[in-house]
């Protein structure tokens, strides 16, 4: 029996389907899918099924000094025991094994882990390696027809990264967390790649905070030829004899404005026409793909998650690549022919097929592992993809089209005129030939019309205007620009950069998009800069990345690189040891600053956002237990303290982060006082205790800011129904025949029409009925069917589901995607 091992279950399912030509059957073994046909068995891993860690005696944070981890031994243990058990059982029965994991450093390491597990169970079976860049019939069959050997050097490079990241992350995380007395779920996370990335974000924020705006003025006027009016801008020649539009002195601006205001006409001095070629873009590598997806509103992590699903389904090539040059064996004409079968692409394909020659653009990077990201000949059924998946798929397809298209051509017209001594200019542009824009509509093709004029021609001047402006601070890094900067500085790899950003969000170091550092992030960077700057040094991180590349190329060994890294970390702890107390105090103060709202109205100590033992958030006094003043916070979302403050109480306002349902709660004390002053409005009998105990339903305002219809006998009767947070609620004279309750109408300033909520019981029952899986963005009818086959048929099922198990059972759905859906319904 031949055993085939892939990186994930959905890849195993597809490869089995290709090699068996649709004849593979599925059996469950220990909760793991095994695909079988003829003398072959195929099983998917779940990424790494073996993890690196320290021995158990190093696990107690309080008994083991963080510095000891620098030279602590590292062990490997199974992290997915059910998969490991099934793999080894099958390996024991196998005559041979084939590793078919992704072809990159991480995939090679996962393949090596599988290799070692097979060897433990079967010492004699030959083990080969197959590599492909897309999971299509042609590539998969070609790869299996010409197997190779595992690249142990490439795998060792991935293993070195694992070990170095474990040692650095664990040792420094423990040191900072213990110094700040911040343990448990809220520990302070530090990482070899994470920390230099965070410093980039913090440095940019420092630039913004240090920025001192300057005043300047810009002047405009309208010029008219015949009945055509166009805008012109005032300019002057500066000290370097170059054109300048910004006037930095208000008196000079006023003088120029007076000249424009008194000018009745302007004489055209120069007219310059030129044609500019707009070259099509290079093929997608990972960084440029993330940048393009970012312009469509997709964060880096989300874009890569979708791309990986499309790759696994066989629709695009491997999305982790540095390459920007198509391989010689790619036939653009054949691929165009296949893509033309999709009605939405047919017109674009026809345009490209009409070209005399198909010659693809070439980027600067040419590698030999994976091609640039491009579509495969296997077209998806659009109904099988969510809207997000189709949008990303179309982006990849159209980028491929663009690389085959001709350049666009623009005509530029520049007009300079003299308005009674004031120079003005107008720049027009017109698209002469769409070129690649006809098939790639993601770049702007806006035109600016300026009519044909001749030198010496007199134009009417009207509507002069002067605009006072200020210079703007530098922009924060968007996710895609941050990844580009990381790439240019050698921080991380194409496979890890987007995950690094996700970790910074998860650990509470950054918020918003573009990402802004929290006060904790600023404090961590400040502390490490002052006491151990190597931790946030991009040079050291880039050097380690280069060392790992040297391992992959056989120039260094895993042992050499990890030992060198341990020595560097040991030197860092020598620097940190003397400043432990100062570092801890600095971090503790910053942790408070991120959670501080203002003064407690009862004792004057700080009010802080706190978390209860049950996980809910509230506002509590830092003077506890002497002062027990508290304020509730909404149960939905995670609180973030805003810079804006309440004018009445002086407390900072709070925003609740809850995905698409994020909202500003405002001042918690205002919400509590408003609730206390709002009288309950009784609307009818309680359906649970009204007959027996006389309970009544009332519209109630809670101190947390929420509203509900609840029983007046609370807490003896907990019956309640949710109500919207915003808007005035009107109790109408129309009653529900079934529940004998008045119908409600919500009047919200933000809505054009009032919301007829109706009977609150009926409304809630209808809401529950609507909460099927297809109410979640990204779950279409096809995906809903697949989820049902895995036992996930309702919102409740989804909440309780194991994301990894669902991903293994459902083709084209990753565990990360399942977790995103779960976050939306929590």
The residues, any chain, with a CB within 8 Å of residue 298's CB and separated by 6 or more, are 306, 388, 392
For 61-125, the DSSP string reads TTTS-GGGGGG---EEEES-HHHHHHHHHHHHH-SEEEEE--SSHHHHHHHHHHHHHHHHH-SSS
Q: How far is CA 522 from CA 190, 518, 590, in A?
A: 13, 6, 8
Helix/strand/coil for 409: strand
Catalytic status, residue 318: yes
CA dist., res. 662 & res. 438, Å (int) = 38
* HEC letters along 176-214: HHHHCCCCHHHCCCCCCCHHHHHHHHHHHHHHHHHCCCC
Q: How far is CA 331 from CA 247, 327, 335, in A?
A: 55, 9, 6
Residues in the chain: 826
Q: CB–CB of 415/425 below 8 Å?
A: yes
The active-site residue, picked from 318, 393, 436, 509, is: 318
Angle subtended by helix axes 558-577 and 538-552, to nearest 10: 160
The residues, any chain, with a CB within 8 Å of residue 797's CB and separated by 6 or more, are 791
CA dihedral sign, ordered 771, 776, 781, 783: negative
For 599-624, the DSSP string reads E-TTTSSEEEEEE-TTS-EEEEETTT
SS3 content of the chain, % helix, strand, coil (to 5): 40, 25, 35
User: Which of the 8 DSSP states describes residue 315?
Assistant: S
CA dist., res. 429 & res. 771, Å (int) = 51
CA dihedral sign, ordered 384, 385, 390, 396: negative
Q: What are the tokens at 694?
A: 């006389």
- Residue holding tokens 């009674």? 420
Q: What are phi and psi of 416, to 5 degrees?
A: -120, 130
Of residues 88, 93, 89, the one with CA closest to residue 2: 93
Q: CB–CB of 35/129 below 8 Å?
A: no
CA dist., res. 385 & res. 391, Å (int) = 9
Q: Among all residues, which ones are annotated catalytic?
A: 318
């Amino acid at each position: 029996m031949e055993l085939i091992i892939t990186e994930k279950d959905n890849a195993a399912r597809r490869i089995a389907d290709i090699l068996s030509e649709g004849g593979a059957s599925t059996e469950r073994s220990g909760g793991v899918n095994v695909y079988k046909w003829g003398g072959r068995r195929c099983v998917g891993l779940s990424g790494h099924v073996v993890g690196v860690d320290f021995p158990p005696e190093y696990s107690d944070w309080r008994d083991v000094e963080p510095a000891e981890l620098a030279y602590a031994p590292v062990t490997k243990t199974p992290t997915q025991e059910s998969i490991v058990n099934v793999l080894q059982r099958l390996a024991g029965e196998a005559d041979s094994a084939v590793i078919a994991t992704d072809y990159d450093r991480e995939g090679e390491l996962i393949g090596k882990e599988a290799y070692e597990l097979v060897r433990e169970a079967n010492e004699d079976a030959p083990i080969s390696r197959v590599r492909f860049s897309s999971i299509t019939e042609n590539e998969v069959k070609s790869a299996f027809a010409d197997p190779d050997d595992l690249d142990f050097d490439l795998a060792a490079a991935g293993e070195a990264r694992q070990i170095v990241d474990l040692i650095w992350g664990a040792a420094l995380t423990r040191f900072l967390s213990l110094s700040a007395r911040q343990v448990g779920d809220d520990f302070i996370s530090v990482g070899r790649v994470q920390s230099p990335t965070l410093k980039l974000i913090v440095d940019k924020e420092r630039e913004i905070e240090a920025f001192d705006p300057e005043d300047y003025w810009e002047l405009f006027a309208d010029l008219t030829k015949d009945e055509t009016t166009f805008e012109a801008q005032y300019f002057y020649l500066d000290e370097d004899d170059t054109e300048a539009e910004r006037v930095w002195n208000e008196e000079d601006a006023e003088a120029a404005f007076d000249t424009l205001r008194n000018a009745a006409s302007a004489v055209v001095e120069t007219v310059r026409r030129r044609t500019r070629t707009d070259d099509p873009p290079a093929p997608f590598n990972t960084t440029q793909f993330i940048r393009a997806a970012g312009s469509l509103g997709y964060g880096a992590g989300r874009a890569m998650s979708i791309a990986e699903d499309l790759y696994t389904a066989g629709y695009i090539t491997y999305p982790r690549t540095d390459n920007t040059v198509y391989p010689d064996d790619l036939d653009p004409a054949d691929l165009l022919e296949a893509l033309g079968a999709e009605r939405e692409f047919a017109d674009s394909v026809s345009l490209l097929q009409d070209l005399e020659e198909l010659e693809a653009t070439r980027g600067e990077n040419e590698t030999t592992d994976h091609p640039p990201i491009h579509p495969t000949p296997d077209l998806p059924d659009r109904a099988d993809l969510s809207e997000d998946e189709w949008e990303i798929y179309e982006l990849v397809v159209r980028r491929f089209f663009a690389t085959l298209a001709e350049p666009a051509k623009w005509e530029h017209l520049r007009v300079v005129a003299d308005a009674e001594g004031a120079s003005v200019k107008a720049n027009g542009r017109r698209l002469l030939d769409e070129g690649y824009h006809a098939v790639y509509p993601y770049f702007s093709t806006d035109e600016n019309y300026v009519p044909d004029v001749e030198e010496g021609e007199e134009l009417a001047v009207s509507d002069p205007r002067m605009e006072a402006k200020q210079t703007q601070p530098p922009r924060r890094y968007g996710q895609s620009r941050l990844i580009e900067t990381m790439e240019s500085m050698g921080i991380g790899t194409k496979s890890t950069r987007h995950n690094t950003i996700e970790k910074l969000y998860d650990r509470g170091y950054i918020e918003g998009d573009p990402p802004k550092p929290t006060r904790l992030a600023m404090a961590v960077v400040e502390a490490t800069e002052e006491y151990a700057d190597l931790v946030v040094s991009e040079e050291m991180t880039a050097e380690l990345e280069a060392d790992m590349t040297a391992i992959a190329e056989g120039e260094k060994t895993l042992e050499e690189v990890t030992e060198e890294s341990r020595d560097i970390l040991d030197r860092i702890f020598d620097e940190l040891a003397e400043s432990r107390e100062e570092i801890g105090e600095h971090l503790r103060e910053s942790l408070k600053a991120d959670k501080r709202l203002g003064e407690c109205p009862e004792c004057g100590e700080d009010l802080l956002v706190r978390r209860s033992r049950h996980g809910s958030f509230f506002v509590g006094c830092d003077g506890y237990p002497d002062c027990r003043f508290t304020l509730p916070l909404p149960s939905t979302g995670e609180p973030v303290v805003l810079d804006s403050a309440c004018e009445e109480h002086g407390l900072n306002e709070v925003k609740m982060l809850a995905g698409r349902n994020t909202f500003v709660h405002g001042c918690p004390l205002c919400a509590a006082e408003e609730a206390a002053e709002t009288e309950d409005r009784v609307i009818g009998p309680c359906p649970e205790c009204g007959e027996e105990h006389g309970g009544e339903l009332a519209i109630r305002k809670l101190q947390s800011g929420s509203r509900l219809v609840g029983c007046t006998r609370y807490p003896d009767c907990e019956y309640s129904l949710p109500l919207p947070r915003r808007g005035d609620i009107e109790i109408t004279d129309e009653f529900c025949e079934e529940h004998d309750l008045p119908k409600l109408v919500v009047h919200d300033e933000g809505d054009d029409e009032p919301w007829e909520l109706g009977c609150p019981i009926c409304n809630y029952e209808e809401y529950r009925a609507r909460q099927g899986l297809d109410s979640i963005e990204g779950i279409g009818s096809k995906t809903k069917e697949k989820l049902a086959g895995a036992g996930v048929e309702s919102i409740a099922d989804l909440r309780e589901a194991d994301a990894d198990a669902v991903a293994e059972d459902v083709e084209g759905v990753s565990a990360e995607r399942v977790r995103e859906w779960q976050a939306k319904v929590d």
